Amino acid sequence: MRIIIAGMGDVGYHLAKQLSSEAHDIIAVDTDQQRLSYTDSMTDILTINGSSTSIKVLKEAKVEKTDLVVAVTSSEEVNITTALLSKRLGAKRTIARVSNAEYLEQDNTLGFHEMGIDYMIYPEELAAMEVVNLINRTAATDVIEFENGKISVIGLRIDKGAPVIHQKLFEVAKANPTLDYRIVAIYRNFRTIIPTGNDKFLPNDQIFVATKPEGIENILKLAGKENINFDHVMILGGGKIGRRVAEVLSNKMTVKIIDSDEDKTFELADQLPNTLVIRGDGRDIDLLAQEGIIDVDAFVALTEDAETNLISCLMAKHLGVKKAIALVDKVDYIPLTQTIGLDSLINKKLIAANSISRFIRKRDMVAYATLEGIDSEVIEFIAQSGSEVTKRPIKDLDFPKGAIIGGIVRGNDSYIAVGDTHIKSNDRVVVFSLPEAVKKVEKYFK
């Protein structure tokens, strides 16, 4: 595909980095030459210095021959204008990043699609829903569901006291023959491993497990986890993300939200009738203690300052909070989750880039997801009749190195993949893959 990306901030850069490894023709447009130079040095793409709202610049980028224009600058107005102009000038599809939640409401009658914008992305909403999902699945660091939960890929951190520590994967499987699961990846020391049966579970490993709904509780026990219900959540930061998280969670649990801005706290109190709003500094340990942090199940730090979020979450963990989630503005922080002792770090710009990648790829794949800070992808394919993946059992497929088949959905039934599993045409197959193996995996399903 030929893709123009307008805006080489964090969203644009990470999107360009993801897509440039997949043989797309990428053209980056930005008014900041320094950003373009950095992008050009890191990824194999064409760069154009100029405004994406300039017809001259868009024509220089050959917008009329472009399959997709992605406008992800920091300005909502620039993004919408870019998308509308690009569609009029001949681009096949357009995506615009917006900062106004009203544009995504289902009852919105403005008709953005008819105007020329095929897809709108609102990073704050995506980040808020990521936080909600992490809190709802209390023991997991990541949860990705396929086919309405028939197959799930769950991320778990192995604690020092977990029953499986220092055991090989095949030994654990042999000792638990009734458990239906497959370990599809291990994240260890900043490296993603597609495991074999001889790999061992080590303390602080982050493992990713493909399983069916009925197997989740037993998998948690093996990892030394317990999926308890959370009743009390404390949120630091009443911005767009914090407000949305409180709005969703306050209907089923007790939520407290802390913000240092007096005007904002009054506004939050009016908008969130079921939430206790507190004005104060979330880094103040006395304030946190006074507001009962020792009785809180989860602490979520969502201010605009990453250091404040990290420090306050570390204090919360020190005080015994079961789960701490921090919003960070640097993607480089995310792999540090294991080493600093937090449960999850999220980055709204990386989440946005991943969402756009899914939109681009969904023509060829049923579903697609990436994992925060992990250099890997989880993809659902439909096995085509006569495709390579249907010709032999999995153990005889010579499946690409760096990829593994986790589970299969066939009609109303789901199966965890084992060596003797034989995939049939029209099966929906969940694959865990390192980025460099994705193109090779795709060929097996066509």
Q: What is the DSSP string of 17-64?
A: HHHHTTT-EEEEEES-HHHHHHHHHHS--EEEES-TT-HHHHHHTTGG
Contact indicator for 3, 24 with CB cutoff of 8 Å: yes
Contact in structure between 228 and 304 (CB atoms under 8 Å): no
Distance CA 72, CA 9 (A): 8
Digits of tens for pLDDT over the chain (446 positions)?
Answer: 899 999 998 899 888 887 876 678 899 999 999 888 887 776 678 999 999 999 999 999 999 999 999 999 999 999 999 999 999 999 999 999 999 888 887 665 567 888 889 999 999 999 998 899 888 776 667 777 788 778 888 888 887 788 899 999 999 989 988 888 999 989 888 788 888 889 999 988 888 899 988 888 888 888 877 767 789 999 999 999 999 999 999 989 999 999 999 999 999 999 999 999 999 988 888 888 888 998 999 999 999 999 999 999 999 988 889 889 999 987 777 766 656 777 788 888 888 887 887 777 665 555 666 665 566 788 888 899 999 999 999 999 999 988 999 999 998 899 999 889 999 999 999 999 887 888 889 889 98
- Please return the burial class of 79, using the count of CB atoms within 10 Å of its CB with bins 0-12, 13-18 and 19+: buried
d(CA 373, CA 317): 21
DSSP per position, 26-38: EEEEES-HHHHHH
Closest CA to 3 of 48, 50, 63: 63
| Beta-strand pair 68-71/93-97 | parallel
Q: Give the pLDDT confidence score for residue 128 in this predicted structure.
A: 93
What is the Cα–Cα distance from 79 to 94, expressed in whole angstroms? 10
Residue-wise pLDDT for 155-213, tens only, equals 888 877 888 999 999 999 899 888 889 999 898 887 888 888 899 999 888 888 999 88
Query: pLDDT value at position 227?
Result: 65
Q: What is the pLDDT of residue 392?
A: 92
- Give the DSSP H/E element, type plus range, for residue 276: strand 275-279
Q: How far is CA 224 from the centre of its chain?
A: 24
Q: What is the largest CA-CA distance in the chain?
A: 67
Sign of CA dihedral 264, 265, 270, 275: positive
- The domains located in the chain, with CATH, are 2-121 (3.40.50.720), 132-222 (3.30.70.1450), 230-349 (3.40.50.720), 351-444 (3.30.70.1450)
Burial 381-411 (b: 16+ CB within 10 A, else e): bebeeebbbbeeebeebebbebbbbbbbbee
**Bridge partners (DSSP) listed for residue 337:** none
Q: What is the pLDDT of residues 421-438, one digit of tens each?
A: 999 999 999 999 887 888
Classified as helix, coil or strand, 148 is coil
Distance in angstroms (rounded) separating the CA atoms of residues 276 and 297: 16
With 0-12 CB in 10 A as exposed, 13-18 as middle and 19+ as buried, what is 67? middle
